[in-house]
Structure 1
Amino acid sequence: MDSVVTPPAPAFDKPLMHYGKRVLERTAPGAAPAEYRLMDIRPLTPHIGAEIAGVDLSLPIGEELATELTQALLEWKVIFFRDQHAFDPSAQLALSALWGAPEANPFFPAADTAGVSRLAKDAMAVGTENIWHSDHSFMAAPALGSVLRAVEVPAAGGDTLWADMGAAYDNLTERMKARIEGLTAVHDWVTSWGLTMTESQIAAHREALPPVEHPVVVRHPRTGRKLLYVNEPFTTRITGLSETESRELLGELVLQARIPEYQVRFRWQHGSVAIWDNIATQHYAINDYYPQRRVMERIAITGERLS
């Protein structure tokens, strides 16, 4: 009989390799599987991301379809739609209203329709999106989610990735879970958005947007699932730890979003729409399309305080 090889124990809490299978659950433990009658679910990975077929988002959304869309978003964390060519800003606002009121980002210019932010990137926008993040985590009540539609896409490139932060939490070592239980972290926009501002511009925004604290591990407000809630640009330190310990711990935690097994990647086409759960995921817009243009219109959905 072949002997079983036991990998050596790592000398620190961050092993260089992952041994054994990962825990990649699509839903919170004990959640009943959802049923769908009005649309076709086409998974892109086993646990995060699915394309939805059979739905025209430009038409009024009835109560039963709204329920199924909500179920799909909670189950898959990010859902995608193709060929939504009649889906205009008014329909986008109506769709986002299924989850809540639109939330303005104070650093984005708005399009003609209130609540819709136009995100235009071209040759001069090199490097401005290349970081894993959760939208508006620097706010006391971070955005619940977003609805993003493709207006102009490059012939190649410009994909977006999302990472499942429930899976990121599930696959932490038990030692790490115990270490971060009950900790809170400071989230701030100055170290990211503030890099392009003058001191007077920072001061003008600071009164309305002071640093905030969120738990390092939050429970999803709709499902109760435990999620890792720190991200690279906005989480600046862990409360109560020394600067050295905070930096070391954050350095390990923020890297969890970069693990491919937790991710889904979406190739945009004209008429594509994505809806994502901003608490359960982080995302990363790939800026590889120089010198082509990429124009998207986004509505963020107002969230609530996390616990």
Structure 2
Amino acid sequence: MRAVIENDPIETVIVKPLSAHIGAEIEGVDLSVPLSASEVSAIRAALLKWRVIFFRDQPLTHAQQVAFSAQFGELTLGHPVFGHVPDHPEVYSIAKFRQSTRFGGQAVHRPWSGWHTDVTAAVNPPFASILRGVTIPPYGGDTQWTDLVAAYAALSAPLRHFVDGLRGVHRFAPPAGAQATSDYRDAVEKRILVSEHPLVRVHPETGERALYVSPSFLKHIVGLTPRESQGLLELLWEHIVQPRFTVRFKWEANSLAFWDNRSTAHLAPTDIFDLDFDRQLYRTTLVGDIPVGPDGRPSDALEGSPVNAAEALALN
């Protein structure tokens, strides 16, 4: 299936869906130069419809990635807790062994382990993330995304009604069974972020409802007993990672993934640690709004301030 969005006589953005619910490859644009208004509009429309979009054969520098990203919103600091690459405060390094500086011990692995939506510990998590592949192994290292709108719609009506009124607390913390390294503890203590978000988020542009249940950051449901909270969270986490809601992307050098954090969660690969190949990607993120639940109530910051563009601008 190929959807073609006609913009004007000399511009065509080609959208190639990859699965029933989520993921599409975009062709017909050069991301190294400024886009036309119609190209920006077409790409944004594809992002809203397919949640995550992919581009191939786009050799960009850090500065070009930043410039491309800025056409869709304000950029945040590379990462509000873990910093940025030298001389490019908007760019965050996704290196193969970055996790080894964060956690020790043996984490408990479950079907949803590692799945997350970016920086949901902030009261205004990023609207979108843009990840660029530079050094890519010849095999392995795929990233997966899941459609949280489709997952919400697939719940039974009684369960949808129940979770519509619930809220959960999100924070940075080691996975179950793992121990934080001193570097991780120091970074988290310098920028404490704890927020209470609705379990169901109303998308600010489409009006769709999404299960906002980031497994890596959501720690408990407000008002439920610990056993009730854990049982419901595990049910929802198991539900959102069903293969029918997901897409898997095979990286190549100079590929980009651009995803909507308001309607997706994603999973970084772990098979790369069984390979001798290096892997290096770079991410930019765009400032997000404060989530709102079906009852119209916005999220609350329990600790820490919103993530905004001023932090990145201050370092430029």
- Regarding TM over 0.5, the answer is yes
Decide whether the 8 Å contact of 2:123 with 2:290 is kept in 1. Answer: yes
Percentage of identical aligned residues: 35
* Equivalent residues in 2 for 1:77-156, closer than 5 Å: 77-85=51-59, 87-104=60-77, 105-112=79-86, 113-122=88-97, 125=100, 131-156=114-139
Q: Is the 8 A contact 2:102 2:181 kept in 1?
A: no
Cα deviation for residue 146 of structure 1 reads 0.6
- Contact 2:174–2:180 (8 Å) recurs in 1: no
Q: Which residue does the alignment assign to 2:13?
A: 39
Residue aligning to 2:285 = 300
Tell me the residue number matched to 1:221: 204
**Which residue does the alignment assign to 2:256?**
273
Q: What residue is the counterpart of 1:52 in the other structure?
A: 26
Shift of the 203–124 alpha-carbon distance from structure 1 to 2, 3 Å rule, reads closer
Partner of residue 260 from structure 1, selected from 227, 233, 243: 243
Q: Does the aligned pair in 2 maintain the 1:123–1:291 contact within 8 Å?
A: no
Contact 1:44-1:264 at 8 Å conserved across structures:
yes
Shift of 1:96: 1.2
Among 161, 166, 171, the residue aligned to 2:144: 161
Whole-angstrom distance in 1 between the partners of 2:4 and 2:223: 41
Letter in 2 for 1:218: R
| Alpha-carbon shift at residue 206 of structure 1 (Å) | 4.2
Report if aligned partners of 2:169, 2:218 keep a CA contact under 8 Å in 1: yes
After TM superposition, give the deviation of residue 46 of structure 1 in Å.
2.5
**How many residues end up aligned between the 2 structures?**
273
Q: Which runs of 5+ in 1 are unaligned?
A: 1-32
By how many angstroms is 1:288 displaced? 1.1
Q: Is the 8 A contact 1:192 1:234 kept in 2?
A: no
Stretch deviating more after TM superposition (95-104 or 266-275): 95-104
Larger Rg: 1
Aligned to 2:312: none
- Residue identity in the other structure for 1:196: A
Counterpart CA distance in 1 for 2:36 and 2:98 is 41
Distance in 1 separating the partners of 2:188 and 2:248: 34
- CA deviation vs aligned residue, 1:151-182 (integer Å, no higher than 9, x gap): 10001000000000001100011121122121
Backbone CA RMSD of aligned residues = 2.6
Q: Of 69, 76, 94, which residue of structure 1 is paired with 2:43?
A: 69
Post-superposition shift, 1:208?
4.0
Is the deviation greater in 160-169 or in 170-179?
Answer: 170-179
| Whole-Å separation in 2 of the counterparts to 1:126 and 1:45 | 35
